[in-house]
Structures are given as structure tokens and as C-alpha cells.
Structure 1
């Protein structure tokens, strides 16, 4: 690109500075000597005048203390006076790198480049430029990072990243000295950083023949000759655009605002799409093995994904911040997974105190994007998927994205197979730069042989892991369908005031027309297992959610505030259709004989059960910057909950036996949160937080009244550190959680409950993720947890909670060759460890601990990628738990994947 440098004479510069200073503020006595020194330096500088060109050079940035070339820069370099109005935060929507005859240019694409105020400095061999009123934002709103490794001779790395919520940082690292960087602005492209090669630096930085004036002298390190570059070698760029490697610097789940993880006084881990792809994740719950304190918890018929976090099981999760229950998740439609540890009720209402999982989906792009993938593997597994996106109109106001996948899979367990299908279209219409409307829809359907697994008995560890204890001719009709609809409006009144409102509807139907068996108790002979036959065991779940958030930024003196004022309304309706359960023919677990079971005539159980809940919540949050290194988070929420439980007993033909009974309850819990972050040095964040949670109870007392909500409190302290700047980060957390009002048996009437129970969870967690060296990524975790019963009328105090391991950890690392003939070839490997866990309450026996090893190999070339993933390399025998049933993990499994994108 041909760029002309527009320069000004010192006389015009002198007049412009004086004029600007007089307009902006009266000159103070202490400022006059500084101004005279700057003007004297300018007077000694010979600067040529050239006609203006299309691209304007802003200034020379390669010097440690650059002289001022405009009044605007003089003001930028001066400290910002208190109470100065905040300027608009400019959105940089893309970063590109192009080779030039001098080296390489990095372009920050924006239509508002003239509004950017840039300051720079040198640190060691690093040239650092900060843009304090800008953010890297994709058209979808997601953040991203640019990274170029060894692009030219003399430069080891160029990175462009969001340093904090309002600053972009550009870092150019030289091999032996500070590199030469020039800055231009272009009305058609944005801001351009021009980085010279070592040859260009040596040529342009040779000292003149005559003695230079003091203002023209360069630091000695910048006048040293540099090695030349072979012009025949192509420039190789490694750029992370939409993906951010293994490290994601920002998250939204903890505060409902895009906040750097280092500024959040609570533990939060993010699993990006790159980890899901590298590990060959086909079931999303496997991705959560990378997070400390999270254990996979089985669900009804092993149909959906449920988690136990810090010892507490949660059946509810979030999808883009909206509550959903027992979802079937397509990994290909996810941009990332955010796991917030500890209570989240201050923003999301009723949740368990252990934490929540938020699935963040992919959003439309403003450029054409096409991706396809096909995976085949062990046990007759195959899965095609597509991901396409782009603009639908020439003005790029209407954007779309479509993700769809189909999966057909056998299983290592005899007679078990499944089929799933999902499709997720997204449309975004941009009314203007400040207003957009997004519509999302996702349909999922699962058909699976119903398999609860094995009963929690020590004897089951003697059975082969492929043992099926139900009936192959009957357990083949379990179906689950879900429809998820989201409509979200974002409007920015100004840079300091934003409105976000959204509506979500979720419909789920399971067990449609199903008939299946479930395992029961083991007989006294130690080998005969009773079974129950369930017919018409279907259910419906629907929920509506409305959320509105108003986000404002303002200052009170030198203190900065980002205030979130919001309210949400939700309606929840869970209904089980009338079903019957008969005692069926038992089976020998060591020598099973299959055939149509003969159900006995007596009815075991049948009823009609519905739970309805209306919740209205209002919440307020303030993110306060007291000092640049001291941040405070305050928040509180009040909920108004109206819950109704409707029950009616039916006979075997579905006829009512008695009148419908309604148990109603009304609660208004208040949940606060307070946290503080102190950053003694830039890479380190020390934090403390206190937060509370609540969850309505469905248990009843002897007089028929509902128990009060379960209340949770957590104290957490921790350290967050950037071990390698902008590449590798870690979190260490210590927590203490107490959950009260837990239902326990009423000692005066054992058929009912009282809220006298209590459980505790205490532990330590460590998580690390990011890039160690170019191409070498890592994500790892380690935790210790003690979750136990602290008060109860029937359970022994001190008993550990079910499926809550005392210790666990994970390590996954991958490396991709960056240069040479083998560029694009990569390898990955890791181990996942889960300590032993209690299988039931009261504690009678443990589920054994295990270590599972995985590996991968892949090759990327141009737009194509092929890979092999090996899971459970050593065929380790291990078990996951539903809390009651045990499910063996798969032995060695191999998956092969071919994908493309352009």
C-alpha cells in the first residue's frame, strides 16, 4: 500500500499547540516550563511540509520518548484531568496483517480511526501502544485476539488484544531491541501499524553524517544493524481471530457485562471452541472434565447432561444467560462454555450454591463463512455437521448463521444405541450501529435406548461393562424433543448507556409414547435384580423468561462506576403425564436371559404431578473502580416467588382416585453479593467475595405448608495471575459453602420433612489455560473438595455427599508445528483424574477413583483439517454416577474427523 507522510512545519505546529492549550484550559505556572521545552525541541527540528494524502502518518512510534507532532498528541500524553467526560469507545471489528516492502503492516479496521487516542512506550524489547478508548469486537459482539509469531526478521511476535474493558494494547516484541513501528490512519481502513524488517531498520536508522541535534538522537540500541531477511521466504502469520486459543480473557456470566476475568472477584473458567475441537468432544459434558470442582452427573435415562459443582448437583443451566433444564446440547453450535463457581442467584435467581454452566452459542458474522465436518468412530459412530454464516443483504444489516448436526451412534453397552438431530438458525438485523435485534431458534431431538445403568451395589463392579440389565425389545422408544426460542434487542443510547432486553421460550417433551424398564433392588441371593415396567411415562416442561438490563457508566469524582439495573420474569411448568409402573420379571445379573417380561397385575405406582412457578426478580449491581488497581463489586437481588404443586392420584386406567390437591407457597428471598479485587502488580489479582443463593423447596411439612427455600452462603478468596502476558493465565481459589434449610425427615412424623438439614462444602481449586509458546497450548486443573452433611435428623453427620470426589484434576496440552515442511501438523494429549466418591447416602461404599488418558493427532492445510482422537487409551475401567445408578465409562474409543472452512 502506497502511503504518504503528511508533515507540518514547526511554525504551524507551534500555533496549533498554543491555540489548543488556550482553548482547553488556562495555562498554569508549573506547566509553562514544560511547554517551553516542547516548543524549543520543535523549533530545533527540521520538518518538511508536503501536500495532504489519503493516508496520514500520525507519528513516529519507534522512539522511547517520542516528540509531539500535534496538539492532540500533547493532550493525549498529558494526564487526564479528573471528571473529564468519557469519549466514545471505538469498536475495532477486525485485525489484518499484510506483507509490505518494508516488513509487515497490521491494520485495525474501524470507521472511526480519527477518534482514537494512542499512547506508546517501550519496555525491554517491547514496543507497546495503548488505545484507551477502543475495544476489539467482532460483528457478533464477541471479543477476539490477534497474534502473529515471527512475522519478519528482528520481530518475534505482534499481538493485539483487549487490555481491559476500554483499552486495546498493541505489543511488538523485538529480538534484540525495540522494533521500529510507524502509525498511519486511513479513512478507508482504520489504524495501520507499519513494522519494519531488520534490514529496513538498519537502513532507516543509520546515523546521519553530520552531528544530530539532541532532539534527533536515537537510543544506542536502535542504531545497531540487524540481520537481514531472506526475501525469498514467505512471511508466515499465525493469527487467532474469532477463536482465542485456550485462553479467553473476558467473560459475561459473572456480571452480565463483558468484564475481564482478572477483574471478577469470583472463580470463573471458560472452555473455548478450540478446546472442544482439539479434544474431539462429541458429548458436551466431557468438556467440563477440564474444569476444577466439576463432576459429570448422570440424568434420567442418560439422556441429558447434568453437573455437580463444588459438591452440589444442578439440573438447571444457562444458554446465553437464559435458564434451561436438561438440555440436549450440540457442541458444534457453541462458541464457548463459561463455568461460574459459587452462588449466582444475585443475577439469575434460584440456583444451587455450587455454581452454574452457561452455554454461549455462535453468532452471525458479517462476512461469508462456510464450515463442514464429518466424524466417524468406534461403535458405529458417525456425525456430519455444518456451520455457515454471512450477510443476507448488501449493506450487511441482515446477518445469519446456521448450525446443524446429525448423530448416529452405537454403544459399548449391549443393545444400546441413539440418534440425535439438531438445527440452530440465528438471524441478526442491525437497525443502526447502536441497535440490533437477534432471533435464535434451536430444535433438538434425541431417540435413545433407555438405559439407567447399574444399581449402586459393590457387586456390579464384578460385571462386564457391556452388561445390559433391561430388555432390548422394550427399551427402544425413549424420545426427547426440545425447542428453544430467543429474541434479544440491544440498543446503545450512548457509549455510557446501554439497554439489553430479551425473551426466551423453552419447550421440552420426553418419553413420548415410551415403554421401558428400570432396574430395582437386588435379591437376597445376590444375583436376582427386580425390574419395573413403565408405560406412557411422558412428561412436559416449558418455561418463559423475560430479562431487561440497563447498563450505565459514570464517574463520581475519580471513582468509576458501571451499574447494572435489571429485572426478570420467569414462568416454569413441569408436568408428568399419568403413567403406570408394574413389577416385571426379574433378571439374573450374571447370566441374563432376555425376553418379553411378564408384568404382574398389581400396580406399583401411578399419579399426576405438576409444578408451576412464577418468579419476578429485580437486581442491582455496581462495578466500581476505586483506583486503577482496586475494584469493588456490589450487588443485591429481591425475588417474588409463587410456587404451586398440583397432585392427583390415579388408578391403573388413569382415572382420578381423589380430588386434585394444590400446595402453594410464596417467598421473597434477598440475595446479596460483595467482592473486592486488588492488583498489587499488573499480572496479579487478589480477590475476596461473599455471595448467597436460594432454591425453592418442593418438600412439605406435616401441616401441609411448604418448606422455606434452601439458602446458600459462600466465602471465597483467590489469586488470578497472568503467568505469560496475554497468553497464559491461572486461578487459585479457596471457598467455604454452607447450604441451610435442607429438607430432612420430621422426627415426629417420618412421612414429612422439616427444614433442619445442613450441608457444607469446602475446598481448594487451581485452573490454568492458555499458550505457553507459539503453537503450544495447555488447559489444566486440580482441586480438593470436602462436601459433607453437617446437620440432619436421619443421615449421619459427616457423611460425604454422593458423587462428590475429594480430589481430582486434569491436564490437556496440544502443540502445532508453526514453520517448515511440517507446518500444520499437531499433537495433543492429556489425563483426567477423578478420586473415589461415595455412591449413596448414608455412605456404604465408594465408587473407585480412576485416571483416563486421551490423545490426538491432526494436520491442517489451507482450509482443511484432518484429525484422530483416542479416548481412554488404556481402556481404564471407570464409572460415572447419576447419584443413584452407576454408568461405566467407555473403553478405548477412536474418532476420525475431516473438516473444512473458508
Structure 2
């Protein structure tokens, strides 16, 4: 028995002495400017232990015996280093510096963004080549994934408030206003997705950042909008293991789960992967407007050598919900009271549904042909599928048998629609670096092909109008709404097959970025050929051809090491879509293409060791032949062209860190976007719909560094929008100010975040069409998120 007690005592003594005499090894990682590198991996090889640096670049290993150890240190954008360190005194801190990685293939975005802050230094969106944002002679706003994570944003509409000169037009996909002009499309990694198709806004689960190229971008990306172009940059595979899972729950019975997994698939790190997953089931403050969403987004990179890379991305996104057409209010004859119905008010029936599926895949190849010539090829296939049943307004109030209008009841129609739409986008270009005397050139020559088709079989049926003086579909009573199930067989329905449509674009372009001392010039020219196939796949089929030469000229001057000033002139060209031209009986027409031009001057600067960027831009945009709703009660889809619109204004963007633990994203915009020529003289001088004169936003996050509060972060934001017009000349949306806040706590590998949006429960309208279709902002809401990285 004594021997057993002695043995037990000996074991306890050895175990206790291990903790008594073992020490804590601490270290700090910095870059070449002695600035901390957060989120880096430090692997202690002998112990097979890994630590991740905090926001101050610090890391720690507990219970480590004195001795000599080998460390493998890696961080995105920096060279991986192996360091030998002798640990002999706990008071000695292991300090080391990492050098930036010099990547060979940088003519396309092939690696994860090295910065882990609100600031982004380089982009491919403005020039198709990796260029410092301060060297691009055009304003580019952006929202990084760090802002997205801190605000717990889920869809693109959630981050519009962080972009200068951007405002919401409706809840629909891609439907925002930029510099006063309504947008109609967006890009994914510089490739165009389907135009005007789909209702739900894209999910942000697989997005690294959202870039917004301000003003016309047709010289690079074909038919784009004059106010700006949204480019969603997806997350790329990394050559180091990083995994995280997240859970969330909040207001309106919201439940979320997501995952982000990346790393090498082989020891040589020539095959990399990334997998982003997202699922949300949520209701809404709007009646019957919840949805269930899922996204599966795998991507792979194959890098056999320093000269070649092949990327493959696949995205499956599915949404099951209903189509929210907005809030109706009592008609103009009853006044202009926006509160005549609650903001939760919606029109529809319990058996309405909207099933949307978006599937796309992208493959790209980058090959370095010689030391100064690279070849790049990309292809994207995008498919959108819609299965819809809805009870919606006919965009007018009820007409009674005696011919009078009842502004408390809405005339209704029903739509059942099924269909698909496909787009193909091919981009091929060469990048050549060379010199002519004192001039340094980066020459880009390329070819684009874009095709959009609507196949046979898309069809719809529905009911509308009056039969013998009585409504075919019963009126919707705004004073006593009825959301019950309904039998559509009781209506007189009319079925129709949607016409097949096709349009395609061929474009060739050349761009030269020239550097001479403190001066940089950008010269670009695009020849575009647009073909719209009228009566596609019928005996009356014919090609409607249009073409344009699109120039772009910019000049940058480095006034100081921190400040660049620039000026630019660019043009835009956007033919009217095949769906509009191909259905003149619905939309009217024929319509001329949109033609736009922009002058812009500005300054871009970086402060605090390039950790904070401050950009200012002044612009003047002119557009001709824009389409707007004709407000025809007999045809709610009828469009008409106004002669000319102009937008002029100033924008300010601030991104980055003021202190290592204080990050901000701020924006301000003043603009006047007005109709300057029209066949309706009363319109001249009026502001464009959903284009406020003044809007501003600020979001900041402060992380405590004092020991007792270490790991705690506080975020706060404010957004203001001025008064806005709608499509109705006598209905305006009031100005509003909304306050948001967040509280987070990070401990080890866990991060807990609580966001409260619209703290003071402000009632406001983010956008709107007219009395029949307003889009109110979300009331006070709460979101709790938990993230675990491993």
C-alpha cells in the first residue's frame, strides 16, 4: 500500500513540476514597417501546436519548456518563414518580421486579399490588372468582408449603406441607385451575370468584397449602367488551412448557419480548395415575406508551376419564399399619408410562392508566356430559374361599377410563371509589360463575348381585369386585408408562352497604362458590336445590329507620396434589353440605346502608414434615352424614354484604421440627378427617383486592448438619407437617420457578436415606386452570431 501511495505522489510531483517549471512563450509578428499582422498562423513544429495572432500581432504558447524550437510562420500576402528561436527566459518576447510576397501571376485576382481590415489597397475591377486603387483614375468604392462580418450583413442590400452615392430603389436583385441612375446588372469577378433576371438579392456568404466602379464602365465591361457597376469578388482558395463555422439567430425567427473551409489538398500545395456554405430560414417584419435560402459554393485552384494557374468556381443558390412587391398605401385622392397602412403591410395570399435558383460556374486560366507577357482566359455560365405564383396589384386602385375609384381597395391580378434564362460570358486578354524610352507600359488587349438567351418553354398564365363590370380577381381591401388561401381556378385565366429571346455582344478593346515619373495615364478604346435577335427562332427572325466605339482617358499625378490627384473622361453604351425590345406590345418601343459620358476629377490619399485611405471625387454624368415607367393604368409595364438626364456631385470615402484597434468606414455624397430634356416639360429639372441630394454613412469598430477588457469590441454606425422622389410626381419619401450598434467578444477561437440595427426603431422608407409599391426599412432588429475558427 505504501508503494502505491509513493508512486501516486511521484506522479503528482512530476505533473506539478511540469506546470511549475514550464513557461509561457510569447511573441509578436510585424511587417517590414513594424506594423502588427493579425490573423497569422504560427506553428511550433516540435509540439505540433498552432497559434493565431490577435489584432496586435501577438501570440502565445502555454506550458512550454525552455529549449530551442522551430516555427513555421505564414500570413496571407507574406512570404512563409521558418524561424529558429531559443526559449531561455520568459521575459524575452519572440519578435519577427514578415516580408511581403511577390506573386508572379498578378494580372487577375488569384489569391486571397492580404489585408484583414476595412481598407483595400489594390483591385482588378478598375483596369482588369492588379492596380493600386490610388493609381486608378476613377472612383471605386468597396465593402470588405471584414465590414460584412462586423455588420452581420447577409445580402447585397444590407451593405448599400456603406457605399457613397448609393441608395436602395427596391428590394429586388441589383436594383439600387448609383450617382442618381438606377442600375440593372452586376458583375461576378469581372464577368457579367444575367441582366434584369431574378428577384432575390445575392447572398454574401462567398464574397470577399464588393467593388463599385463609379460612372460608366463600358470601356472594359461592355453594356453597363452610367451611374456605376457593382462587381462582386468571390473568396479564393488559400494555401494554408483555415476553417470556420458560424451560427446565428435573431429577430423575425431568423436562423443561420455557415461555413468557410480552405487550404491545400496536397503537400506540394499545387491544388487548393475553398468551400463556402450558407443556410438561412427567416421570416420578416413584412406579412408573408419570409424565405428559406441555401448556398453551396466550392472553388478550386490548380497551380502546377509559377507560370500557370487554373481556377474553377461553382455556386448553387436557392431561395424559397414569396415575391415582395412592396407596401401599398391609400391613394392620392385620400392624401399622401405614408402611414395610412403599417410598414408590415403587404399584398398577397398564403399559397403564393417564389422558388428561385441561380447556378453558375466559372473557369479561368492564367499563363505567363514570357517574362513580361501573360495570357488570361475566363468563362462563366449563369442560369436563373423562376417558379412563381403571386397575387399582386394591377398598379391601380379599384374601379367600382359606377366608374368611381375606391382608394382603399386595390385592383388585383394573378401571375403563375415558370422559366429559365441563361448567359455565357467569355473573356480573353493579354497583358504586356514593356518600356519605350522613359515610359513604362502595361498594355492590355482583349476580346469579350457575352450571350443571353431565354429558351423555349417559358410560359405564364394569369387573371386580371373586369368581367361584366366585376373584378376577375377580387379587390384587396386595405382596411381589412385577407391573406387566406385562394383557389385560382375560380378566376378566368389566360395562358401565354413567353417568346424566346437572344442577344449577344462582341467586343474588342485595348488599354495602355503608361507611367512616366510622377505621371500615369490610362488610355482605352473599345469597339462593341451588339446584336439583338428579334423574333428569335421564328420565321420572322432578324438581327437588329448596333455598334459603338467607347473611349476612356485618365491621368494621375502623384502630388506627394501620400496623395494622388486624377482626372478622367469615359463613355457608356447600353442597348435596350432583348426582353424589352422583343416584347413591344408590353413595354412599347422601339427604343434607342442608352448613351452616357462622364467627366470626373478627384484625389486619393493614404495616411497612417497606408492604413487609412481618404478619397474625394467630383463628377458630371450625362445620359440620353433612358427608359422610365409610363404610369399607364391600362398597361402597368409600359415604358417611355425621356430625352436627357444629368447627374453632378461630390463624394467622399474613408476606409481603414485610425489606430490599430479602431477601424472606420465612412462615406458622404452630394448629388443633383435631374431630368434636363423631356417631351414632358413639367419633368425638366426634377430629381430622378430614389436619388437623394445628400446621403452619408459612418461605421466604426473599437477593440479594447487593456487586459481587463481584452477581446471586447464595440461597433456603431449612423446612416442618413435626404428626401427622395418616386415614380409618382406627387409622392416623396422623407429623409431619415438610422443608428446601428454592435458588441463582440473574442476569446481563443470563438467570436460572439450581437448587432442591433435601427436602435431607435425609426420608421422610414428605403425606396419606392409609387402609392402601390413602397419599400420600407426594417424596424429595430437584433442578430446574435457565434463564429468558431479552427
Q: Same fold (TM over 0.5)?
A: yes
Asked if 1 retains the 8 angstrom alpha-carbon contact of 2:514 and 2:521, the reply is yes
For 2:189, the equivalent position in structure 1 comes to 320
Question: 1:466-499, CA deviations, whole angstroms, 9 ceiling, x for partnerless residues?
Answer: 223222x222x21100111101001112342111
1:265 aligns with 2:137: yes
Within the candidate set 88, 91, 116, 1:244 is matched to 116
Matches within 5 A, 1:594-673: 594-596=483-485, 606=496, 608-627=498-517, 629-646=518-535, 662=541, 664-673=543-552
Alpha-carbon deviations, 1:153-184, whole Å to 9, x = none? xxxxxxx999xxxxx9x9xxxxxxxxxxxxxx
Q: Distance in 1 between matches of 2:143 and 2:151?
A: 11
Instruction: After the TM superposition, list the runs of 4 or more consecutive aligned residues in structure 1 that deviate by more than 6 angstroms.
Output: 232-241, 699-702, 750-756
Task: For 1:745-824, list aligned pairs within 5 A.
Answer: 757-794=643-680, 796-824=683-711
The aligned counterpart of 1:890 is: 778
State how far apart, in whole Å, the 2-side matches of 1:601 and 1:773 are: 65
Q: Deviations 1:360-407 (Å, cap 9, x if unpaired)?
A: 111111122211000100111011011111111222111111111111
Are residues 638 and 900 of structure 1, via their aligned partners in 2, closer, same or farther at CA, if it must alter by over 3 Å? same
Preserved CA contact (<8 Å) 2:653 2:668: yes
Summarize the Cα distance change of 1:330–1:807 in structure 2 as closer, same or farther, 3 Å threshold: same
Could you say if the C-alpha distance between residues 548 and 806 of structure 1 is closer, same or farther in structure 2, counting changes exceeding 3 Å? same
Partner of 1:834: 721
**The one of 503, 513, 517 aligned to 2:392:** 517
Partner of 1:556: 436
Answer whether contact 1:584 1:598 (CA < 8 A) is retained.
no
* Gapped regions of structure 1 (runs ≥ 5): 1-98, 109-125, 129-135, 137-145, 153-159, 163-167, 171-185, 195-228, 649-658
Match of 1:501 in 2: 377
Q: Distance in 2 between the 1:370 and 1:230 partners?
A: 31
Deviates more, 1:449-458 or 1:373-382: 449-458
Residues 744, 127 of structure 1: alpha-carbon distance in 2 compared, 3 angstrom cutoff: closer
Q: Which has the larger radius of gyration?
A: 1
Specify whether residues 775 and 788 from structure 1 end up closer, same or farther in structure 2 by C-alpha distance, changes over 3 A only: same
Shift in Å, 1:878: 1.0
Distance in 2, Cα, partners of 1:416 & 1:834: 25
What is the alpha-carbon distance in structure 2 between the residues aligned to residue 366 and residue 888 of structure 1? 44
Question: Are the counterparts in 2 of residues 732 and 767 from structure 1 also a CA contact under 8 Å?
Answer: yes
User: Greater CA deviation, 718-727 or 457-466?
Assistant: 457-466
Matched residue of 1:821: which SS? helix
* Displacement after TM superposition at 1:235 (Å): 7.3
- Cα separation, partners in 2 of 1:670 and 1:882, compared to 1, 3 Å: farther
Superposed displacement of residue 148, structure 1: 7.9
Alignment-derived partner of residue 348 in structure 2? 470
Secondary structure at the counterpart of residue 740 of structure 2: strand
Distance 1:531 1:127, change over 3 A: closer
Deviation at 1:838, TM superposition (A): 0.7
Q: TM-score, normalised by structure 1?
A: 0.70
State the SS of the aligned residue for 2:689.
coil
> 2 CA distance for matches of 1:193 and 1:816?
32
Name the structure 2 match of 1:254.
Answer: 126
Report the 3-state secondary structure (helix = DSSP H, G, I; strand = E; otherwise coil) of the residue aligned with 1:247: coil
Q: 1:859 deviation in Å?
A: 0.7
1:873 is aligned to: 759
CA contact (8 A) 1:370 1:387 kept: yes
Task: Please tell me whether the aligned partners of residues 106 and 193 of structure 1 are also in contact (alpha carbons under 8 angstroms).
Answer: no
1:618-645 Cα offsets, whole Å, 9 max, x none, are 0110111021x21101101011111024
What is the aligned length? 684
What stretches of structure 2 of length at least 5 have no aligned partner?
A: 1-23, 41-52, 60-73, 100-111, 399-404, 465-471
How far has the Cα of 1:268 moved from its partner?
Answer: 0.4
Q: Is the 8 A contact 1:610 1:645 kept in 2?
A: no
Residue in structure 2 matched with residue 219 of structure 1 by the alignment: none
Mapped to 1, the partners of 2:327 and 2:81 lie a distance apart of: 62
Q: Deviations over 1:563-601 (max 9, x none)?
A: 111101111114652333334111221222344557785
Q: Is the 8 A contact 2:463 2:492 kept in 1?
A: no
Correspondence for 2:148 among 254, 263, 276: 276
Deviations 1:675-704, CA, capped at 9 Å, x for gaps: 0011111111111000000111256699x9
Kindly state the Cα deviation for residue 723 of structure 1 after the two structures are TM-superposed.
3.3
SS in 1 for 2:119: coil
Please show how residues 446-595 of structure 1 align to structure 2 within 5 Å: 446-455=319-328, 458-471=336-349, 473-475=350-352, 477-512=353-388, 514-518=389-393, 520-523=395-398, 524-535=405-416, 537-574=417-454, 576-582=458-464, 583-595=472-484
What is the DSSP-based 3-state SS (H/G/I as helix, E as strand, rest coil) of the residue aligned with 2:596? strand
8 Å Cα contact 2:283-2:291 kept in structure 1? yes
Alpha-carbon contact 1:150-1:236 (below 8 Å) kept = no
Q: Could you say what secondary structure the match of 2:709 adopts?
A: coil
Q: CA offset at residue 151 of structure 1?
A: 7.0
Query: Cα gap change, 1:604/1:396 in structure 2, threshold over 3 Å: closer, same or farther?
Result: same
Deviation for aligned residue 1:282: 1.7
Inter-CA distance 531–460: structure 2 relative to 1 (3 Å threshold): farther
The separation in 2 between residues aligned to 1:538 and 1:601, in whole angstroms, is: 19
* 1:17-36 pair list within 5 angstroms: none
Note closer, same or farther for the CA distance 1:831–1:519 as it changes in structure 2 (3 Å cut): farther
Match of 1:680 in 2: 559
SS where residue 680 of structure 2 aligns? coil
Q: 1:382 corresponds to which residue? A: 255
- The aligned residue for residue 177 of structure 2 is 308
Give deviations 1:514-550, integer Å, cap 9, x for gaps: 3443453124332111111112x12321100110111
Q: For 2:460 and 2:322, how far apart are their aligned partners in 1? A: 22
Offset, 1:463? 1.3
CA distance 1:105–1:368, shift in 2 (3 Å): closer
Between stretches 245-254 and 603-612, larger displacement belongs to 603-612
Q: TM-score, normalised by structure 2?
A: 0.80
Structure 1 match to 2:232: 359
Q: For structure 1, which segment, 714-723 or 806-815, has the greater mean C-alpha deviation from structure 2 after superposition?
A: 714-723
Indicate whether 1:231 and 2:91 are aligned: yes
User: For residues 204-249 of structure 1, what are the alpha-carbon distances to aligned partners after superposition, in whole Å with 9 as ceiling and x for unaligned?
Assistant: xxxxxxxxxxxxxxxxxxxxxxxxx992778799999844301111
Distance 2:410 2:597 in 1: 42
Change (3 A) 1:281 1:557: same
Contact 1:664 1:706 in 2 (8 A): no
Whether contact under 8 Å (2:688, 2:725) holds in the other structure is: yes
Does the CA-based 8 Å contact 2:299-2:314 persist in structure 1?
Answer: yes
Q: Within 1, Cα distance between the matches of 2:439 and 2:511? A: 16
Bigger relative contact order, structure 1 or 2 (CA pairs below 8 A, ≥6 apart) = 2
RMSD: 3.6
CA 1:732–1:565 in structure 2 vs 1: closer, same or farther (change >3 Å)? same
Aligned with residue 163 of structure 2, among 279, 291, 314: 291
- Preserved contact between residue 143 and residue 159 of structure 2 (Cα < 8 Å): yes
Residues 409 and 417 of structure 1 are in contact (CA less than 8 Å); yes or no, is this contact kept in structure 2? yes
